[in-house]
Amino acid sequence: MKLNWEIDKDRALTGAAKQNDREHSIHHSTVVGASEQDIQLAIDASVEKACELLENNIQDDSRYLLFGWDSEVSTLTIVVTDDDKRHDSRDVVQCHLVTGGQQPDPEDIQFWIKDYLTTCAPFLRYSLIAAFHRGSRATCTLL
């Protein structure tokens, strides 16, 4: 699935990345799809987009490729961040899922991300730790 990505420097961040003051370029897309397959393809495309941006996002203190799921707004936010998860990369990827009232299962989203990363060459080039959270960055699950 190919997503239409828009880049916005002034857009307010939702979820995980809003806690730091750095200016961000938010690469965002909205996906309308009711099937589980559509959601999985959108998640895969989002991870692919984030991995395409890794080269520009890696800093000396980069440690995590962090995936944050905000179930209130059905948005996946992907950032590269440091050990303390306080200083995010300049480029942020956000995918908003519109599913017609049925919330995607966060366990499925976490599985699809992990599954995609196992064969993602751009991700495997770097020594980043993939982590997933559902609200608080303090309670991440390693992928």
DSSP-based helix, strand, coil % in the chain, nearest 5: 30, 30, 40
Place of tokens 């309670």: 139
Any idea of the CA torsion for 133, 134, 139, 143, to the nearest 10 degrees? -30
Q: Name the strands in the sheet holding 6-8, side by side, starting at the edge strand that comes first in the sequence.
A: 6-8, 25-32, 91-98, 75-82, 62-70, 129-133, 141-142
How much is the pTM?
0.87
pLDDT for res 22: 58
pLDDT tens for residues 99-109? 877 788 999 99
Proportion of the chain above pLDDT 70, given as a percent: 90
pLDDT tens for residues 47-99? 999 999 999 888 888 889 999 999 888 899 999 988 888 888 889 999 998 88
